[in-house]
Amino acid sequence: MLSDVQVRRFHGDGYVLVPALFDSEETELLRQAARSDPAIAGHACERDDGEGGKSRITLWNDAGDDLFSMFSRCERVTGAMEQLLGGEVYHYHSKMMQKEPFQGGAWVWHQDYGYWYSNGCLFPYMASCFIAVDPCTRENGCLQVLKGSHHMGRVEHVRVAGQVGAEPERVAEAQKLLEQVYVEMQPGDALFFHCNLLHRSDQNQSPNPRWSLICCYNAARNNPYKESGHPRYRPLHKVPDTAIKEAGLRFLAAGQFMR
């Protein structure tokens, strides 16, 4: 459960950082699974940042019984999401972001709702939980946010440097008024952020990887009115927090991962 202060911070700033939401054992299980699961490598898509860098992203919609799904289904995360979004939520999708040393690409300023709006979600009752698998630093391309930018509402998204990002003129004006924060994180830290929060990241210019698991949620009352690449409402079967270590040890020992 998040405190009242944390919930107020989320609504005021558009994000809240929760240090050590996951302990060192849970985080190490996640790191080992991410690096060794053939599905993560086999289903990854490369994204060119238009500046010579490339990032890899593996995305999935279904929350199953694998270790990664235990993170997205655990009470620790889903309970916080219900607090932040004001009621029942469901799993919209999850993704493993993979910024490799010296080559992980940049992401331009954008809002997640800038994309999800087109999927038939009428309201921005959506948020994500960014879980650090590796240390996230300025050098390896940590997330940057414009504090309070979610209050701007949805910004038009256009082609920017080979990507689809928020309209640059409006972002430039927002930067004059809003604090730009580099969200540096340690493994196991979690960042909950609003779908309209403007965020970006630089290339990884360090010898260290910057991987992260991002679990995304939609409010049940915001069921999309049309089909898209992400699911309409379906009940989220939550699991106790203990399921993470149980699943991690089971799957790693058996060599069974995400299907």
- pLDDT tens digits for range 131-157: 999 999 999 999 999 999 999 999 999
Q: Within 13 A of 207's CA, how many CA atoms are on the CB side?
A: 0
CATH for 4-233 (2.60.120.620, 1.10.8.60, 3.40.50.2300, 3.40.228.10): 2.60.120.620
**pLDDT tier, 53 (very low <50, low <70, confident <90, very high otherwise):** confident
In sign, the C-alpha dihedral spanning 143, 216, 189, 134 is: negative
Mean pLDDT, the chain, integer: 95
**pLDDT tier, 55 (very low <50, low <70, confident <90, very high otherwise):** confident
Q: How high is the pLDDT of residue 258? A: 56
Q: Which SS3 state, helix, strand or coil, does residue 226 take?
A: coil
* Residue 131 · residue 72 · CB < 8 Å: no
Which alpha helices (H) appear in 86-192, and where do they start and end?
113-116, 168-177
Averaged over 208-219, what is the pLDDT?
A: 98
Residue 229 CA to residue 40 CA, distance in Å, equals 19
Q: How high is the pLDDT of residue 251? A: 76
Which amino acid, 72? S
Q: Which residues of 33-67 are buried (b: 16+ CB within 10 A; e: fewer)?
A: bbeebeebeeebeebebeeebbbbbbbbeebebbb
The more confidently predicted of residues 231 and 47 is 231
**pLDDT tier, 253 (very low <50, low <70, confident <90, very high otherwise):** confident
Averaged over 76-94, what is the pLDDT?
A: 98
Residues 6+ apart with CB under 8 A from 132: 185, 186, 187, 188, 189, 190, 212
R_g over Cα of the chain = 17
Q: How high is the pLDDT of residue 33? A: 94
